[in-house]
Amino acid sequence: MHFLYNTIIRIYAALIRIASLFDSKAGAWIKGRRGWEDKLAAGTEGISRIIWFHCASLGEFEQGRPLMELIRERHPEYRIVLTFFSPSGYEIRKGWKGADYVCYLPADTPGNARRFVSLLKPDMAFFIKYEFWYNYIYELFKREIPVYLVSGIFRQDQLFFKWYGGLFRRMQGMYSHFFVQDENSRLLLNKSGYLNVTVTGDTRFDRVKKITESAEPVPAIEEFAGDEKVFIAGSSWEEDEKIIAGYINRNPGRMKWIFAPHEVDKGHTGKLVKMLNVSSVMFSEYTPAHASARVLIIDTVGLLSSSYRYAYIAAVGGGFGKGIHNILEAACWGVPVLFGPNHSKFREAADLMKLNGAWCFADYEQFAEIMELLLNNSSIYENSSAESAGYVIRNAGASEKIAEFCFNKVVNN
């Protein structure tokens, strides 16, 4: 099984090299890893007591960020090295000042893992949520370097619990401790014989709570909104946008409308503009003269989490694709959140729906029905808003619990 795993990793890397000839993301994946040994040696020269954080992409980075920031604040004697698998994470956060060095994670071959861990010499490692790379985990385990899974979530249909998932179960046995989001994950791991599990919740709650405490205002959005209620569609995809645009075209004057698409290239934003029968303006082109427009399209990255503060109602995209994006970024502001039907893998979506802090729509009719309910019934709206904000507050604190466990253990060794 190990041989098959390594073969698949090498085939994947070869396919990425081929794809890099015509795909920019694949090209960034290859280019960013070129000469990684020399880059890592130079980037970490002269530093010791390293803590390694690995994230798949931007979403996992936001999940690990509150723990990294807490460690940086409370344990300045440590240095943080941050790795990404995906270009969409690395390219946006490669200059993040919270880490001492940021780089791509080389492909998970035995040789790469051996050389990477030998060069880095971390005191401990944190892998975020879904990141399971056998050779890296094995190298850490073999060298008795503690490795922790942060905000893990497990389901019965995952490879770990299949009859053919032996390699992945062995990998689970190499973790020093699992910090999981829910009780079901703990029970599944216990059933597999792993008792080194603590239910700490999701560190994203800590991140979004901090955003509400430190977010800077966005003057252009304030001016655009004026005295009107605002609807924000965050991380939207074309399927979400078609439904929302249809409602806007029928009800242009009910609110001001803001889109922050998942893809902000001109091709995508151009399609969005064509869906609309009302006046619109790009954020990058906005001036006070555009304040009368009905729709504002945020065509830059990094503004969404702070922008939700202006929302009366929000929709979060991805629910008609692989899965919804981060609904907590909106909920933390006390905003009712709408999303598409593909949300079953997201515990917070189920929790908020039970509380009526979030609402699911599968088509235009359902979307319109929810909008009318929230806009016309103040009691339902106020309850939904309060439940969203309260849910985030009640579930914050995972980073504190994880840091206390890990550093007490290190200190006592």
pLDDT tens track for 195-241: 999 999 999 999 999 989 888 899 999 999 999 999 999 999 999 99
pLDDT tens track for 101-131: 999 999 999 999 999 999 999 999 999 998 8
Q: Are 43 and 118 in contact (CB under 8 A)?
A: no
Q: Is it the case that residue 411 has pLDDT exceeding 60? A: no
pLDDT at 409: 59
pLDDT tens track for 339-398: 999 998 888 999 999 999 999 999 999 999 999 999 999 999 999 999 999 999 999 999
What the chain holds in terms of domains, given with CATH numbers, is 2-200+397-412 (3.40.50.11720), 213-395 (3.40.50.2000)
pLDDT at 413: 33
Q: How far is CA 267 from the centre of its chain?
A: 24
DSSP code string of 185-249: HHHHHHHTT---EEE---THHHHHHHHHHHPPP-HHHHHHHTTS-EEEEEEE-HHHHHHHHHHHH
Residue located via tokens 């791991």:
189
pTM, entire model: 0.84
pLDDT at 315: 97
Q: Are 186 and 162 in contact (CB under 8 A)?
A: no
Q: Which of 222, 219, 247 is nearest to 233 (CA)?
A: 247
Q: Is it the case that residue 410 has pLDDT exceeding 50? A: no
Query: Which is more confident, 163 or 409?
Result: 163
